[in-house]
Amino acid sequence: MNYILFDGPSRNNLLPFTFTRPVADIRVGILTIREKWEAYLGSTITTVTEDYLSDKYPMVEMDENIMISASYLPNENLINLVKGLKENQAIFNKENVIAFYTKASQEEVDFDTYDAIEFNSDVIKIEHTWDIFSKNGEAIQEDFNLITKDRKSQPISSSNNIIASENIFIEKGASLEFATLNASSGPIYIGKSSEVMEGALVRGPLALCEGAGIKMGAKIYGPTTIGPYCKVGGEIKNSVLFQNSNKGHEGYLGNSVIGEWCNLGADTNNSNLKNNYAEVRMWDYETEGFAKTGLQFCGLMMGDHSKCGINTMFNTGTVIGVSANIFGSGFPRNFIPSYSWGGNAGFTTYLTKKAFEVANVVMARRGLEFTEQDKAIFEHVFEETKKYRRY
């Protein structure tokens, strides 16, 4: 069977992260959503997404297909239903479609003609940006169980201070010396070729993905995901860094989500709690206004290729778009549009020519190319987000 993940109605609620990727390629837990479904189904999975993303993330359609909403994270119960789908059958969670069978010859899908299969068991659904960090602990545990099943961890060096070693899994090539790991409150996964430097203090749940690093003396509170090839230091709590992003120095990051190719300057700090302890409101691209999150703790959402200078301060519930560059003293506004250049003193437009020059240099340092496909995506985002840059 051919499986296809589709963005679904949550796509706009997951901006700015879905400006540059399908919903399926959001990382939550240890793996991306696509990687989770592929691991469970034992199959390569393609996506249906926005037209401007489809060259980089193409869909492969066959005669018979099962379409799956990428907002839902797989588990054993859901997988069994998805694998058993037949023609004219669909799985629903209340009124929301989770998955359905379709043929390439179908011009449209009329769910009124489908047999509805109700799925009312527990399932993790990623509907809003803040779900990425607030549901990260559950996602880490499920990925940990999936990845480590019937496998044996690499031995832990005796130089480390370890609590609940049975909840710690270390992949081949990982380096870990003179650190403290406490997995009593959740699992700790140390990925292939990653490094935890001496003096680091880590409390699970934690996902340290392939090639990622925790620097000397860092303090990491779970549930936190440090994506592939990210480097972190200072203090981090309940945050997710997607991939190839750096928070290399002192400073605090809490209840936050950081996209790819971001860099937080030394002593960058974000607030994750309002002074009056009130519910945090955050910019909503769907309504183009500030929406309630239902959370008391909510920090920073930073889109791909955005960066900030040293000593930057971010207010509670700040949303930063794609390819923004923030610097200077004081608190900048709590919604910073894509391609913004500046800070509390004011912003100008960060032109794509300059942004692409930086992206080329940053990615080349890790042996990767900022491709023509990437440029086309980022130019589209520049045009789409013009209306927010009212300087």
Give residue 13's identity as a one-letter amino acid code.
Answer: N
The torsion angles phi and psi of 96, rounded to 5 degrees, stand at: -95, 135
- For 324-378, the pLDDT digits (tens) are 999 998 999 999 999 999 999 999 999 999 999 999 999 999 999 999 999 999 9
| Sign, Cα dihedral of 182, 139, 280, 22 | positive
Using alpha carbons, select from 206, 83, 184, 193 the residue that is nearest to residue 140.
206
Burial class for 181, CB neighbours closer than 10 Å (0-12, 13-18, 19+): buried
Confidence of residue 192 (pLDDT cuts 50, 70, 90): very high
Bin 186: left if φ > 0, else alpha if -120 < ψ < 50, else beta: left
- For 72-109, the pLDDT digits (tens) are 999 999 999 999 999 999 999 988 999 999 998 787 88
- For 240-293, the pLDDT digits (tens) are 999 999 999 999 999 999 999 999 999 999 999 999 999 999 999 999 999 999
Do the beta carbons of residue 26 and residue 128 sit within 8 Å? no
| Sign, Cα dihedral of 123, 258, 14, 22 | negative
- For 132-191, the pLDDT digits (tens) are 999 999 999 999 999 999 999 999 999 999 999 999 999 999 999 999 999 999 999 999
Q: Give the residue carrying structure tokens 């996506």.
A: 47
Residue 341, pLDDT score = 97
